[in-house]
Amino acid sequence: MHSTLVRVQNVFGFFTTVAFSVAAVIALSTFIHPQTPKATVGLRNVQVVRGRPHYYSYKREEYAHIKFDLDTDLSTLFNWNTKQVFLYLKAVYPSTKAGEPDSEAIIWDAILPGAAAPWHQNHYIHPTPKGTKKPKNSKASPARSHMPAGIVKLDNQRPKYQITDISGKLQNRTDVRLELGWNVQPWVGALLWENWQDYGMWKGLQGGKSELFNFPEIGAKSAKKEKLDVEKGKEGHRLMAGQEQPRKNN
């Protein structure tokens, strides 16, 4: 510590040690924050249609369009170390060959920001429930969800993604269920997935799975025919199945 340079090196060296230790304690502190996630997932309507992966493709595949209800209370996932929660709903169905694991495909997702996260255009903005008045000066208020963090109540929600199978065949597949999943992304510490079991003060997810249903036949009468619109997120340009249009030259 005899000269300025040595003192700078010593102080900075010990600063890194302290910063790392505090970060480790912060990561561990989330374990004493109780978690009681709850979710109800229900199927509204499912249709299977024939389509192609993009405009110029000759390949014909079958796409499932699933409308759903979702009611979640994940507010306990948000503690002081939560940056954001990536919430997703997936359709899970058995594979064609026995012994192979189930196929999973995400039909809807959302990025739920924590309290300290700065605004970002990709954050999920919860649709305004019917009957509530919109604020008049909507321009002045920043585009933030007016629902508390982790509360999602969706009725007859369109999917964000139409799904297909690796085989290209989806009609008449049985024992499909919708399942909720998430990633908790902390400020410091490990990325966490949804858990179904209790770990100490962290309870497993209550509900979060729908009843079993089947993918109907293409053009089946039992399935209500509805517009096959998909929900567009705030992610800007995405390639959608069958929706890419050729560029016009003029």
Partner 1 sequence: MADQLLDQVRDAVEGQIDFEGQRWAELITNVLLGAVGIFAFFIGFMAQDITLTLWIGLAGTVVTFLAVVPPWPFYNKNPEGWLPPHVATSGIQNIDVDGQKVG
Range in contact with partner 1 (rule: CB under 8 A) among 21-29, 99-107, 120-128, 161-169: 21-29
Closer to partner 1 at the Cβ: 16 or 249? 16
Look up residue 21 and give its two tokens. Answer: 């230790």
Range in contact with partner 1 (rule: CB under 8 A) among 36-44, 78-86, 202-210, 234-242: 78-86
For residue 11, state whether it binds partner 1 (rule: CB under 8 A): yes
Q: Binders of partner 1 among 160-219, rule CB under 8 A?
A: 187
CA-based torsion, 161, 166, 170, 173: positive or negative: negative
Best CA proximity match to 83, nearest among 123, 130, 128, 36: 123
Measured from the Cβ of residue 54, the count of other Cβ atoms closer than 10 Å reads 13
Range in contact with partner 1 (rule: CB under 8 A) among 1-9, 103-111, 159-167, 193-201: 1-9
Closer to partner 1 at the Cβ: 159 or 189? 189
Question: Where does residue 154 rank: exposed (0-12), middle (13-18), buried (19+ CB within 10 A)?
Answer: buried
Closer to partner 1 at the Cβ: 55 or 80? 80
Closer to partner 1 at the Cβ: 1 or 98? 1
Range in contact with partner 1 (rule: CB under 8 A) among 14-22, 34-42, 104-112, 207-215: 14-22
Q: Among 59, 71, 79, 156, indicate the residue that binds partner 1 (CB under 8 A).
A: 79
Closer to partner 1 at the Cβ: 13 or 236? 13
d(CA 152, CA 203): 19
Q: Among 34, 116, 143, 211, indicate the residue that binds partner 1 (CB under 8 A).
A: 116
Best CA proximity match to 40, nearest among 87, 72, 67: 72
Closer to partner 1 at the Cβ: 1 or 140? 1
Residues that bind partner 1 (CB under 8 A): 1-4, 7-8, 10-11, 14-15, 18-19, 21-22, 25-26, 29, 79-81, 115-116, 187
